Amino acid sequence: MTGLHARRRRRVNAFRYVVFTVFGLFFLLPLLAMIRFSLEGSTGGSWSLSSWGQIASYAGPPPLLSGVEITLELAVITCLVVLALLVPTVIWVRLRVRWMTRLVEALCLLPLTIPAIVLVVGLAPIYRVIRQQFSLSALQLFWVYAVLALPYAYRALAAGLEGVDVKTLSEAARSLGAGWFTVIWRVIVPNMRQGVLNAMLLTGALVLGEFTIAYLLLYTNLQVTLFYVSRGTPNAGVLFSTSSAALLFAFVLLLILSYVGRARGRQSERSKVSK
């Protein structure tokens, strides 16, 4: 019996190594090619870091740094808006209006089924109003980016709230005289930090890679800037250094997320044991 298992285990392992190697090559080759090209010097085959230095200095057209700045600012603003909007809602629904759980969940997941390319058609008239009434700045994109981030943020927050005994915590806090604001932001949120952090990481990664809506609403964020650089000078090294940097940044965000998720899992296991 154990012989059978050992043999199967060996076969599965051999299969796994082959699969990981083949897929690893398929996924890594384009990325490595991009990085290799970004490190190419002025003559073919040489190595240089100049393309990476150009991320800060590339004057365009269009200037790269402003695209980077806009996108980073958008990431921060979008994170804050998503949290301000979703955290109280998710907790409130859990505490007081459980019958709305399905509705809120459905609304949050809806952006997954309405393609961005469809949404942008309907957004065009709305953004015409925003441009006329409020501001021309590309930062206004946060309104719709928060919607795009809803599915990811909702799932992260809902998972974060799963292990929290919301009812007991809120009753305890209320009985000590806390208002609902204190209950939500100072009692429950600290218990779901990991969920909040996950939501922020995913939202940040999303904003970093967004192109469709910005491009079609005629705003210039990082991806749109890269798009125009590629139209003008398709072989600019800076194109590939910046693209690699953005992808690596998103990858690091999600890798952090995977470790944070584990820390939380362990914590809840511990608390189960102690009970």
Partner 1 sequence: MAVTTPSEVGAQPVRAGRRPLLSSSRLAWTGTLPFLGYVGVFLLLPTGIVLWDAVHGSSGGFDFGAVSTLWSSSTRSYFVNSAELSAITSVLGAVLGAVLSYAVATGNPEGLIRRLYLAGSGVLAQFGGVTLAFAFLITIGPTSGLLLHAGWFYDFPQGIGLIYVYFQIPLMVLVFLPAMDGLKAQWREATETLGGSAWQFWRYVGGPLLAPAFLGAVLLLFANALSAFATIAAWENQISYVVPQQIGTALSSEVGLSSVNQADVLALGMIAVVAVVMTGYTLLQRRTTRWLR
In the region spanning residues 240 to 269, those forming contacts with partner 1, defined by CB under 8 A, are: 240, 243, 246-247, 250-251, 254-255, 257-259, 262
Burial class of residue 196, CB neighbours in 10 A (0-12, 13-18, 19+): buried
Size of the site for partner 1 (CB under 8 A): 85
**H-run or E-run covering 7:** helix 2-38
Per CB under 8 A, which region of 49-57, 60-68, 156-164, 214-222 contacts partner 1? 214-222
How big is the CA angle at 191 (ends 187 and 195), to the nearest 5 degrees? 130
Sorted by sequence, the CB contacts under 8 Å of residue 118 that are 6+ apart come out as: none
Nearest distance in Å: CB 254, partner 1: 4
- Closest to partner 1 by CB, 82 or 192: 82
Distance in Å, CB of 56 to partner 1, minimum: 19
Name residues whose C-beta falls within 8 Å of residue 116's C-beta, 6 or more positions apart in sequence: 148, 212, 213
**Beta carbon of residue 93, minimum distance to partner 1 (angstroms, whole number):** 6
Q: Which residue has the tokens 């946060």?
A: 142
Report if residue 100 touches partner 1, rule: CB under 8 A: yes
Interface map 28-67 toward partner 1 (x if CB under 8 A):
-xxx-xx-xx------------------------------
Q: How distant is the alpha carbon of residue 64 from its chain centre? A: 21
Q: Does 89 bind partner 1 (CB under 8 A)?
A: yes
